[in-house]
Amino acid sequence: MHRHFFGLSPVTAPEPVWEPPANVVASDGDILIDIALPGADLGSIGVEVLAGAIQVEVRVPPPRFAPRASIVRLEIPYGIMRRRINLPGGRYRLSERRIGNGCLHLRLTESQR
């Protein structure tokens, strides 16, 4: 995946929808998820725990440049970021949500039935 960390969603939309990369780890009944969202503000990130999946969506604003700046290379995407991740069997609730180092960090805890 060298230089291909973000992919365009195959879903047809009026503007590009980026699928950010994610790490998913299961540990002691919890699911830990890290999703790369550089430039995203925690308050603008929507997280929805669904039956069997989690969906994250945010609109990242374009970077700001000096008025006379000339872009040499622009590789970090901006705009709509959306990622749906299937979860292992079970029912989960969102128990932690924070952002740091350009990643959204989520902890899902398995709910007792």
> Residue 103 is part of which domain span?
7-110
Tally the C-alpha atoms within 13 A of residue 98's C-alpha that lie toward its C-beta.
Answer: 6
Is residue 2 included in any domain, yes or no?
Answer: no
User: What number of other Cβ atoms are within 10 A of residue 27's Cβ?
Assistant: 8
Is residue 32 a contact partner of residue 106, using CB atoms and an 8 Å limit? Answer: yes
**Is 103 inside a domain boundary?**
yes
**Statement: residue 1 has pLDDT above 50:** no
With a cut of 80, say whether residue 4 has pLDDT above it.
Answer: no
Write the pLDDT tens digit of every residue in 47-74. Answer: 999 989 999 999 999 999 999 999 999 8
Q: How many domains does the chain have?
A: 1
CATH number at residue 104: 2.60.40.790
Q: Does residue 66 lie within any of the structural domains? A: yes
Q: Judging by DSSP bridges, how do beta strands 79-86 and 17-19 pair with one another?
A: parallel
* Strand pairing report for 79-86 and 103-110: unpaired
